[in-house]
Amino acid sequence: MNPFQKNPLGRNHFEVPEVCLGTMTFGEQTSESDAHAQLDFVLANGINFIDTAEMYAVPPRAETCGASETIVGHWLKRQPRDKVLIATKVAGPSRNLNWIRNGPPALDRTNIRAAIDGSLQRLQTDYVDLYQLHWPERNQPMFGQWQFDPDKERDGTPIREQLEALGELVREGKVRHIGVSNEHPWGIMQFTRLADELGLPHIVSTQNSYSLLNRTFETGLAEVCHRERVGLLAYSPLAFGHLTGKYLNRPDAPGRLTQWPSFGQRYTKPNVIPAVQAYAELARKHGLTPTQLALGFTRSRWFVASTIIGASSLEQLKETLPATQTPMSQEILAEIDAIHLRYTNPAP
């Protein structure tokens, strides 16, 4: 019996498992053989939802751009295509990824179409189940930034044009469903309003960071996404390994943050370590590992449609996947909220 339930995304009958395998380590920290072993493992355990992106592996660089999709594609061609849900993303502008379509300068029709064609080729499929805008093109704080600055306004592709381009891909059958990522309430409302007014496809999901250290989704997005029927695909539920507790006693423990220190800027803020310590102590009090507490919490949230987990190795994944099923009592959740009120969103 499959222990993982399915949750609806969007306004139609699209359902996804409550856990999704993220692949951003594939092609950098994770070899192709280990990546395929991870994919086989989750599929054998009832998880058929795989998330990737054209810019992966991470941290992004020209030499590994597209590697994750390519590795997934080599595996996917051996699977019954209708039994696997593939999500990928088009990179937006302004992140200095100059090796992707010479910029890319915009999320316009030309770039979106070029991106999906490249992804389909690497994935060795003629459609993806969920196609996401990796981050907003407009001026917007993200990836550790936490303040909106109107002085940084810039020209960009209107959301209407982005949505029209995505709608073309849906009509052509290259994309089954569309979503966004790293979005904010205003953006979600624009996409849903325009879809209603113009008869274009509705976004079904937003992929945002969500964890014990970053519950900013709850402030404005939870209501918006509930009312507009947009599901949360929660990424970084272990906060780049912080919430495993491994960095508490050993700051130089192997991991992304020690290998690429500049990559986790949102986790350098003052209250991150005290918060992690408090959650680790709470986990021990209840006979749990910090990983079980963190993943059990994220899965317990009513607005989380799927929790995206990633691993650098199969052995790590074998620990992480079962931890997502950790039950959360009302007592534990109340104690989590008490810590949250002491250390509110230390890593937004």
Residue 145, classed as helix, strand or coil, is coil
Query: Residue 162 in contact with residue 137, Cβ under 8 Å?
Result: yes
CA–CA separation, 346 vs 222, rounded Å? 19
263 to each of 238, 243, 257, 267, 275, how far by Cα in Å? 15, 17, 7, 9, 20
- Catalytic-labelled residue, pool 56, 131, 267, 279: 56
CA–CA separation, 232 vs 221, rounded Å? 9
CA–CA separation, 210 vs 191, rounded Å? 21
Query: Residue 291 in contact with residue 319, Cβ under 8 Å?
Result: yes
Q: Where are the beta strands (DSSP E) in the chain?
A: 6-9, 14-17, 19-22, 49-51, 85-90, 128-133, 175-181, 203-209, 231-235, 304-309
List beta partners, residue 3: none
- Whether residue 56 lies in the annotated active site: yes
**Residue 89 backbone phi and psi in degrees, to 5:** -140, 150
Residues designated catalytic: 56
